[in-house]
Amino acid sequence: MLMYPEITLLVLACLGFRAFHVVNGHVEGEEHGSPNSAYIRKYNQMKDMVHNEILPMLKVVECPKLLRRDIALIDSKKLNGNWFLTALTPPLGQARREDRNKCIKATLPRIVARSAMEEHVISTDNDKFLVIYRCEKDDDSFLMVFRIHTRNKKPTVVTFKRALEILRVNNISESVVVRVREDRATCTNFSE
């Protein structure tokens, strides 16, 4: 039996608070984390899920020329919807289309995610790419784009629905309609 149970409990409580503080993105010497730390965590969560769950399931490889920039090199003040949109979406000009990189396609697919309780619908013309979007409804709305190239010549719609189901189960689905155009991607809840 410990002689000072109150002190022991206090020490354990302090250690637990410190661990929670570090896990949530706070750094030694800073009173509070960056205002973008929540976005960084969401970005990394989505990135890990795509690489660890969706890619292996679809037997796909990420396009070599669509690799994301190191997030640590991006100015934290610029880490917003525009950054995600420009950093994760490659140029779609004529010169890019003529590139030998087979990961670029002139006509992009369309994804409609109605709600977490309903099925996720993906257009039937999506035979090469799976484009996953994330759209927040609050004042800090942002857009995340992942473009994936599959080895499967004709992946079925069911295959893509299963991939989207992983996102739904992990709470990364929104009631939102996303429209994709050749020059940019827009979201109904994303201020243009």
Q: What pLDDT does 154 receive? A: 60
CB contact at 8 A, 175 and 122: no
Residues 86 and 11 in one domain: no
Residues 164 and 83 in one domain: yes
Phi-psi region of 25 (alpha: psi -120 to 50; beta: other; left: phi over 0): left
Q: How many domains does the chain have?
A: 2
Q: Is residue 151 part of a domain?
A: yes
Q: What is the mean pLDDT of residues 8-19?
A: 65
Q: Is residue 167 part of a domain?
A: yes
Domain that holds residue 18: 1-33
Q: Is residue 157 part of a domain?
A: yes
Residues 91 and 10 in one domain: no
Residues 25 and 106 in one domain: no
pLDDT tens-digit series, residues 74-102? 333 333 333 232 223 333 344 444 443 33
Closest to 44 measured CA to CA, from 18, 26, 68, 22: 68
Q: What pLDDT does 159 receive? A: 56
CB contact at 8 A, 78 and 183: no
pLDDT tens-digit series, residues 159-170? 555 555 554 444
pLDDT at 34 exceeding the cut of 50: yes
Q: What pLDDT does 162 receive? A: 57
Residues 116 and 177 in one domain: yes
Residues 10 and 60 in one domain: no
Residues 117 and 75 in one domain: yes
Residues 14 and 43 in one domain: no
pLDDT tens-digit series, residues 37-71? 665 666 566 656 656 665 555 454 443 333 333 33
Residues 42 and 27 in one domain: no
pLDDT tens-digit series, residues 99-148? 433 333 332 333 333 333 332 333 333 333 334 444 443 443 333 444 33
Q: Is residue 192 part of a domain?
A: no
129 DSSP 8-state letter? E
pLDDT at 177 exceeding the cut of 60: no
Q: Is residue 80 part of a domain?
A: yes
Residues 63 and 2 in one domain: no
Residues 107 and 50 in one domain: yes
Residues 118 and 81 in one domain: yes
